[in-house]
Amino acid sequence: MAATLTLTKVSKVFAETKAVDTVSLDIEPGQFVGVIGRSGAGKSTMLRLINRLIDPTTGSISFDGVEITSLRGKALRDWRRDCAMIFQQFNLVDRLDVLTNVLIGRLAEHGFLSSMAMQFSDEERTMALQALDRLDLVPQALQRAGTLSGGQQQRAAIAKALVQQPKIMLADEPIASLDPANATLVMDGLKQINKEDGLTVLVNLHTLDTARAYCDRIIAMRAGRVFFDGTAAQLTDDVVRDIYGTQGLREFNEAVTSTQSIAVPA
Ligand SMILES: Nc1ncnc2c1ncn2[C@@H]1O[C@H](COP(=O)(O)OP(=O)(O)OP(=O)(O)O)[C@@H](O)[C@H]1O
């Protein structure tokens, strides 16, 4: 059963920098949420806090009523499986084939010895092939991951995340290294999984057009705080200018996954 992710007054301080500043949010099950904002606004830090790659300085993060920030040992490993993370740089092992890379997503379910031996059941291989099929990557299943295009690698990373059978999918700028055609395929893949499986998706994006085209809800961060939280329709050009500033807006207004764009003042 899907569950709500709740952040309550979450802050993360690095030395002098308040990367995330008193953020409170409820992410409802099945939402496709885009997080936007200028470089340094705190987007990656927020995702890393949710995944427990880092710990908050203060505040609470809970999922289905369970406090995430206090999980240790197996409970923490289980959370990292439930909360799959996609990174800009794909996180695949280049020298291994695509199918094996996807199967690595199952290792959290294995004991130490079977993990070391990379022994997977027929059921797991079927699951991995089904995930690859959803991402249109069956023809590449036996190809070395390092030989795939960037877009194919990112779709393989999504397949790997899928076989973890996560409850929520986090993606930290998953299309930042991709050309428009591949960026569109990756976003379409995430959207398809969100719609078909009802999986909650929380994705950091550098480009407004992508957030507008794909996200049910857009959260804009500025200096660690939530500056805007609403739908694409509510994200007016005036709000966008406040988020990015006119200069920043130029930088972030390049169309990456669609031809829509907003007006930038001359
Ligand atoms: N490990 C760290 N040590 C010190 N400062 C950090 C660390 N991680 C992030 N910061 C700082 O926290 C702030 C927020 O960084 P973060 O990476 O979350 O921003 P972002 O919105 O994801 O930016 P970008 O779009 O460039 O990835 C920045 O000022 C950054 O320099």
What are the 10-residue block averages of pLDDT along the chain, 266 residues in total?
88 95 97 94 96 96 94 92 92 94 87 70 94 95 95 95 95 93 94 95 93 95 95 89 73 52 39
Gap from CA of 45 to ligand 1 centroid (Å): 6
Distance (Å, rounded) from C-alpha 230 to C-alpha 11?
A: 21
Residue 200, both tokens = 């909650």
The confidence score (pLDDT) of residue 102 equals 96
| ipTM for the complex shown | 0.96
Kindly give the number of the ligand 1 atom that is closest to the alpha carbon of 15: 4
Residue 128, both tokens = 């991995």
Residues 6 or more apart whose Cβ sits within 8 Å of residue 199: 2, 30, 166, 167, 168, 169, 193
The confidence score (pLDDT) of residue 242 equals 84
117 CB-contact burial (10 Å; exposed 0-12 / middle 13-18 / buried 19+)? exposed
Gap from CA of 207 to ligand 1 centroid (Å): 18
Say yes or no: CB of residue 39 within 6 Å of ligand 1. yes
Say yes or no: CB of residue 174 within 6 Å of ligand 1. no
The confidence score (pLDDT) of residue 240 equals 86
Gap from CA of 156 to ligand 1 centroid (Å): 27
> Which CATH superfamily groups domain 5-252?
P-loop containing nucleotide triphosphate hydrolases (3.40.50.300)
The confidence score (pLDDT) of residue 236 equals 87
CB burial of 153-179 (b: ≥16 within 10 Å; e: otherwise) equals bbbbbbbbbbbbbbbbbbbbbbbeebe
Q: Whose CA is nearest to atom 5 of ligand 1?
A: 14
Say yes or no: CB of residue 205 within 6 Å of ligand 1. no
Say yes or no: CB of residue 10 within 6 Å of ligand 1. no
Residues 6 or more apart whose Cβ sits within 8 Å of residue 83: 50, 51, 63, 166, 167, 168, 170
Residue 23, both tokens = 């953020």
- Residue 203 has a CB neighbour count (10 Å cut-off) of 28
Say yes or no: CB of residue 40 within 6 Å of ligand 1. yes
Q: Torsions phi, psi of 166, nearest 5?
A: -75, 165
Strands of the 66-67 sheet, one edge to the other: 17-27, 5-14, 58-63, 66-67
How many angstroms from the chain centroid is the CA of residue 212?
Answer: 16
